[in-house]
Each structure stands twice: as C-alpha cells, then as structure tokens.
Amino acid sequence: MLYPADLFDLTVDGQRVKNPIVIASMAGTVDAAYVAGRAEHVGMAFVGGYSIDPPTIAASQQMAEGSRCEFLPGDPVGELLRQADLLAALPVVGGVNLRASTPQALAGLAGSLGDRVIYEIDAHCRQAPMMEAGAGEYLLHHPDRLFEMVRALASQGVLVSVKIRAGITENDPKLARQLWEAGADLLHVDLMDAGYAKIRQIRNASPALIIANNSMHSFDRVMEMFSHGADLVSLARHSDPDTLAGLDAAITRYAREFGWYNAPKQLCRGGDIRALTFCCLPMKDCLSSPPLNGSGSPGKST
Ligand SMILES: Cc1cc2nc3c(=O)[nH]c(=O)nc-3n(C[C@H](O)[C@H](O)[C@H](O)COP(=O)(O)O)c2cc1C
C-alpha cells in the first residue's frame, strides 16, 4: 500500500513533506496553534512573520498602531524557540518567517534556534515602516543585501527560504538563480497577477524548491503550477481547514490515479525544461522551439 508521503516523494533536506500544500505566514495570525488546527492537511507551514531586531520590531509596533495585526512578543528569540518546539510536535515541516534588518540578526537567531526549522526571509512585506527598516520588499530593491542575508543563514547550516513578490525586480528568473547560488534552498513566490509562465521561468532558472503562492485555492490553479515547475503551493488568506482538506483530497486523488502530481506539461505546449525528459525522439519533427533545434525557426530538428 502507498502512503501519502510515498505518493508525493517530497523531501526537504531529508525530511519528508507529506503533501505539497503549505500554510503561508500571516503576521499576527499564523502561529503554531493556527498550524495545529490544520496540520493534517498540509506538508509544511511558515509561522510569522516575526520581527527579530530593534529596527524591525519598531516597524512592527508602528504597523500595529495602524490597522495591521502583528506578533509583538517581548522576547522574540524565546517566542521563536517556543514556536519551534510546538511545530516540532506537529506532522508538518515547520518554518519561521522573519523580518530582519541585518544579516547578523538572522545568523544570531539561527545560532539560538538551530536547524529545527526552515528560516524564511521576508522580502515580501511592502508596508512603509518595514521597508524603511531595511526589511521586507526593501530587500528586493537591494538584492545584494538579500544575498548577504541568505549567505549569513546558510553559513549556519540551516535551511533557507526566501519569500518574494513577483514583478518587483526587473528579472525574477535571474534573482531566483542568484538566490539559489547564494544558498537559498526554497523560493516562496507570491505570483501577484502573474500566471504559471512566471513559475516556468523561475523553474528553468533555478534548482531550488519552488513554492507558488497567491490564490492557490482551486484544484485547477494548483495543477497549473505543478505542471509548470512548482514543487509546492501555499495558502495564506484561504488557509481554512475546509479549503486545505479539499485541496489535499483532490491532489492525493490525482496522484493516486496518475502517479506524479507534478508531471511537466510538454515542452512544445509551454512546459518547463523538466519536460525535455519526455520529448520525442530527435528524428521526429519538433514543433517546439527554435532554441531546441538551433535553426532559429520552428520546424525539423536536426
Ligand atoms: C494579514 C496578512 C498578513 C501577512 N503577513 C505576512 C508576513 O508576515 N510575511 C510574509 O512573508 N507574508 C505575509 N503575508 C502574505 C501572505 O503570506 C501571502 O503571500 C499573500 O496573502 C498571498 O497569498 P494568498 O492568496 O494565499 O493569501 C500576509 C498576508 C496577509 C493577508
């Protein structure tokens, strides 16, 4: 009998991920207790975001005075240790979403927390106080700083994820490649209005595990992402137990019936380069791409 973990054959640094569904962070809302109520139907979860140094904590305080919900523990390291312990008791691979203004703050936290969780750098938050603190989307405008942060964490021997928003930098695939080269293990991509083509470009540029995010609450949408290179999909606003259970059931049913949940779409029909494995024999006319047959125009492969 196949168990779901075998069904998806998905691991992160040797840890089994039981399905390709992830809970994405929502500051002030997603903590270990939130994950516990949904753990049966997800393989991974990121709690937070947590601000971990004085500039980002001040930014969170300012945001909380406005309309935002924020986690504001008195002792962030103690709270993250507690969250990591609670996550470790759940059947999910756990991660913490972090706002930091310096690489040293992240490396210091990793020194205290160890390798029990995935460290996700929040390069996503676009609230002005957070960007002014040198965190969140600021990092997408200052990628060298982001690479430094990735390197600082990777040098501590922990798993690193980077949460980005697509369409902010000029060249997302290039950024994805550079993040992987700096040591990022996972790229967590809020696609915003971009479709699966963005996931295909990022897949073709980087071997990191890719989590596709934004409105991943229908079976059709998540299958589009999987067939164009996403390894996992994540949900924040729609991470209610019913939606997660429905997606889990549908993806599991599909994988049981067809095998690979993330089999690539054919290259000649817009798939990512994993689909080369399934291309026609070279003597066949290739309807696909000039880049493949080297002729500059679609037609016979030579
Ligand atoms: C209330 C709220 C708080 C959020 N807080 C964070 C955060 O702290 N860190 C982060 O990286 N993303 C944060 N996000 C972004 C979500 O993780 C996610 O990228 C976004 O909501 C789009 O995905 P969805 O369509 O599944 O909600 C937040 C989103 C919401 C709605």
pLDDT score at 102: 98
**Residue 38 phi/psi, 5° resolution?**
-130, 5
pLDDT over 80 at 293, yes or no: no
Distance CA 94, CA 22 (A): 10
pLDDT over 70 at 24, yes or no: yes
DSSP code of 263?
P
Atom number of ligand 1 nearest to Cα 69:
1
The protein residue with its alpha carbon nearest to ligand 1, atom 1, reads 26
Side chain identity at 172, as an amino acid letter?
D
pLDDT score at 67: 86
Distance CA 63, CA 275 (A): 45
User: pTM for the complete prediction?
Assistant: 0.94
* Residue in the block written with tokens 């240790």: 81
Distance between Cα 297 and ligand 1 center (Å): 43
172 neighbors 204 (Cβ within 8 angstroms): no
Side chain identity at 90, as an amino acid letter?
L
The protein residue with its alpha carbon nearest to ligand 1, atom 2, reads 26
Atom number of ligand 1 nearest to Cα 213:
23
Distance between Cα 23 and ligand 1 center (Å): 10
Side chain identity at 139, as an amino acid letter?
L
* Residue in the block written with tokens 């589009």: 224
Distance between Cα 275 and ligand 1 center (Å): 31
pLDDT over 50 at 147, yes or no: yes
pLDDT tens string 156-202: 999 999 999 999 999 999 999 999 999 999 999 999 999 999 999 99
Atom number of ligand 1 nearest to Cα 217:
26
pLDDT score at 269: 87
Task: State the DSSP string of 280-298.
Answer: PPTTS-B-S-HHHHSSSSS
- Using omega within 30 degrees of 0 as the cis cutoff, is the peptide bond preceding 28 cis? no
Distance between Cα 220 and ligand 1 center (Å): 21
Distance CA 49, CA 188 (A): 14
* Residue in the block written with tokens 């229908």: 218
Distance CA 139, CA 130 (A): 10
Distance CA 224, CA 217 (A): 12
pLDDT tens string 37-75: 999 999 999 999 999 999 999 999 999 999 899 999 999
pLDDT over 60 at 140, yes or no: yes
pLDDT over 60 at 296, yes or no: no
The protein residue with its alpha carbon nearest to ligand 1, atom 14, reads 26
Tell me the best of 21, 22, 23, 26 to mutate to test the pocket of ligand 1, counting ligand atoms within 8 Å of each CB and taking the most. Answer: 26
Distance between Cα 124 and ligand 1 center (Å): 8
In this structure, the residues whose C-beta lies within 6 A of any atom of ligand 1 are: 24-27, 48-49, 97, 122, 124-125, 163, 190, 213-216, 235-238
The protein residue with its alpha carbon nearest to ligand 1, atom 11, reads 122
pLDDT tens string 78-123: 999 999 999 999 999 999 999 999 999 999 999 999 999 999 999 9
- Other CB atoms within a 10 A radius of the CB of residue 215 amount to 17
Distance between Cα 190 and ligand 1 center (Å): 9
**Residue 122 phi/psi, 5° resolution?**
-80, 100
The protein residue with its alpha carbon nearest to ligand 1, atom 18, reads 236
146 contacts: CB under 8 Å, gap ≥ 6: 121, 123, 139, 140, 162, 179
pLDDT over 60 at 298, yes or no: no
Distance between Cα 259 and ligand 1 center (Å): 31
pLDDT score at 227: 97
